[in-house]
Amino acid sequence: MRKKNILKAIFWSAVISMVCGCAVERGQCGGEEWVRLFNGKNLAGWRPKISGYEFGENFGNTFRVEDGILKVSYDEYDEFDGEFGHLFYKEKFSHYRVRLEYRFVGEQLPGGPDWGYRNSGIMLHCQSPESMRKDQDFPVCIEAQLLGGDGKNERSTGNVCTPGMHIVMNDTLVTDHCINSSSETYHGEQWVTAEVEVHGNDVVKHIINGQVVLEYEKPQFDPKDGDAVKLIEGNNGELMVYEGYISVQAESHPVEFRNIEILLLEQ
């Protein structure tokens, strides 16, 4: 009888393992239906816009997929000359959680700005890449800034930056370009998990390695920004932003991403 129970236990353990394995593949463990935005094979569903080049032109093979990893690489560049790049997912989103793992590798490309050292980001509520000017460095959006440490000094990650936008914190309109989070510093080439929870024009939370490090609300166009003004006009004068595209950033330092996925939330 004891042997029979042991065999039953082994059988059901195997069944549960198989079911959970299928759920993980589809991103459905724990009752949550996560959808993979990056397939680990190619750039299907993603579209580049690099400053100085037409939408869709992947200058210098900047964005590429190798060994299941989405890489921002500069080995085909001689030096950086303002080619700020963004890789956009094809669809817009409003209420969602997006998460990924990232790490910085190697050395910054010569010519990159000092602040570009170990600097990237997840761009949220972006304008469409088609609407960007050819020489526009950054889309109008809110950015969950991803930073790496230099091995010595403190440097938070999961900060917020707002090219062409403003946000509200503690019931106050914030017009500063960047606000630091409360995160730890992550040195070296370790993988870090970044997640952002977005509720349309309501609360936005930045989460690093499972910890909420920043929270704000009411993302809105900056009426003094030239690129934002055009979007305001096309939005019937409305300042508040409720949806947009997601993109990842290339700012002169090699960076790698993996396990990019999204969980849609009820509105």
Render pLDDT for 11-37 as a digit per residue (tens, 0 to 9): 444 433 433 343 334 444 446 799 999
Can you give the pLDDT at residue 137? 98
Per-residue pLDDT of the chain (267 residues; tens, 9 = 90+): 444 444 444 344 443 343 334 333 444 444 679 999 999 999 999 999 999 999 999 999 999 999 999 999 999 999 999 999 999 999 999 999 999 999 999 999 999 999 999 999 999 999 999 999 999 999 999 999 999 999 999 999 999 999 999 999 999 999 999 999 999 999 999 999 999 999 999 999 999 999 999 999 999 999 999 999 999 999 999 999 999 999 999 999 999 999 999 999 998
**Is residue 94 domain-shared with residue 3, that is, in the same domain?**
no
- Residue 239 backbone dihedrals phi, psi, to 5 degrees: -85, -35
Can you give the pLDDT at residue 31? 62
Can you give the pLDDT at residue 267? 83
CA 187, CA 184: separation in Å to the nearest integer? Answer: 10
**Is residue 115 domain-shared with residue 236, that is, in the same domain?**
yes
Can you give the pLDDT at residue 3? 44
Can you give the pLDDT at residue 49? 98
**Is residue 96 domain-shared with residue 124, that is, in the same domain?**
yes
Q: How far is CA 262 from CA 32, 96, 258, in A?
A: 10, 7, 13
pTM of the entire predicted model: 0.88
Q: Give residue-wise pLDDT tens across range 152-165.
A: 999 999 999 999 99
**Is residue 68 domain-shared with residue 181, that is, in the same domain?**
yes
Can you give the pLDDT at residue 23? 37
**Is residue 168 domain-shared with residue 253, that is, in the same domain?**
yes
Question: In DSSP terms, which residues pair with 49 in a beta bridge?
Answer: 86
Cβ atoms < 10 Å from Cβ of 91? 10
**Is residue 117 domain-shared with residue 140, that is, in the same domain?**
yes
**Is residue 16 domain-shared with residue 54, that is, in the same domain?**
no
- Residue 164 backbone dihedrals phi, psi, to 5 degrees: 80, 10
CB 90 within 8 A of CB 247: no
Its domain, for residue 3, covers 1-31
**Is residue 16 domain-shared with residue 110, that is, in the same domain?**
no
**Is residue 146 domain-shared with residue 205, that is, in the same domain?**
yes
**Is residue 25 domain-shared with residue 85, that is, in the same domain?**
no
Can you give the pLDDT at residue 242? 97
**Is residue 27 domain-shared with residue 46, that is, in the same domain?**
no
CB 101 within 8 A of CB 259: yes
| CATH number for 173 | 2.60.120.560
**Is residue 56 domain-shared with residue 187, that is, in the same domain?**
yes
Half-sphere exposure of residue 18: CA atoms within 13 angstroms, side-chain side: 6
CB 194 within 8 A of CB 181: no
Beta strands in 170-239 (DSSP E): 172-174, 178-179, 192-199, 204-208, 211-221
Residue with tokens 């409305």: 238
Can you give the pLDDT at residue 32? 78
Strand pairing of 211-221 and 63-66? unpaired
CA 88, CA 128: separation in Å to the nearest integer? Answer: 8
Query: How many domains does the structure of the chain reveal?
Result: 2
